[in-house]
Amino acid sequence: VVGKRTQKNGFYQAFEYSYGELTPGWGGGVCQASTTLYLAVVQAGLKIVDHTAHSTRVTYTAMGEDATVSDTRGHEIDFSFRNNSGGMVFLAAHVLTDPSNKKRLLCEVRVYGLDLGNTHYELETEIVEKLAMPTEPEYIEDTKAKYVTYTDEEKTVIEASEGFVVDTYLCTVTDGVQTNRVKIARSTYKNRAARIYVGVTPRGF
């Protein structure tokens, strides 16, 4: 719906993860918008049609609560939902200033529709498996001198981390009592080996 993430389409540059490395890209950070929308509509009880979690955990929400989108690398990843409420639904999206930190911005999505009465929806997540942290780092020759130049130099661009398999449940709460709990997603966040760039140019003497 929002089109390709390009400068021509009005997107700005921001940092994004590319193959595990943080690099600037047009429309970087767009997944925070799709994640916020996902959290809003799933808690409004609307049907999720297409949802994919990130391959590695993100910092702005809990594991099992994110939704990624992508229009690059030869394949598209989308997030979509269906209005199954039986009435009209309106979405309102805003960027707000964080009351606790005036330099920080927050994304807010509100869903307006039929009154749910004494019922509301909550998300619960559960770690079902931990994937061990790799012990051997990945060494890459920095032939373009992006991080380091000389053979006695090295730069760690990704720290080693463990992975997780997480189940997400949609819980129906009526009059303060949980009346239903359904698994709606299983997300796998990969473990990662440390990635270290090493220089390829001998120092002159």
Neighbouring-strand partners of residue 177: 174
Q: How confident is the model at residue 205, as a pLDDT?
A: 56
**pTM (two decimals):** 0.85
- 33 in the Ramachandran plot: left (φ > 0), alpha (ψ -120 to 50) or beta? alpha
Q: How confident is the model at residue 165, as a pLDDT?
A: 97
Output the six-digit token pair for 96.
Answer: 């707000």
Nearest to 66 by CA among 76, 74, 12, 77: 77
Question: What are residue 36's phi and psi, to 5 degrees?
Answer: -65, -40
Q: How confident is the model at residue 71, as a pLDDT?
A: 81
Q: How confident is the model at residue 74, as a pLDDT?
A: 65
Dist CA 137 CA 158 (whole Å): 9
Q: How confident is the model at residue 14, as a pLDDT?
A: 87
Q: How confident is the model at residue 73, as a pLDDT?
A: 61
Dist CA 107 CA 128 (whole Å): 30
Question: What are residue 7's phi and psi, to 5 degrees?
Answer: -60, -40
Q: How confident is the model at residue 143, as a pLDDT?
A: 94
Strands lying side by side in the sheet with 177-189: 119-131, 163-174, 177-189
Instruction: Give the chain's residues under pLDDT 70.
Output: 19, 73-74, 205
- Dihedral sign from CA coordinates of 7, 12, 13, 16: negative
Q: How confident is the model at residue 27, as a pLDDT?
A: 86
Q: How confident is the model at residue 124, as a pLDDT?
A: 96
Secondary structure (DSSP) of 27-83: TTTHHHHHHHHHHHHHHTTPEEEE----SS--SSS-TTS----B--TTS-B--EEE-
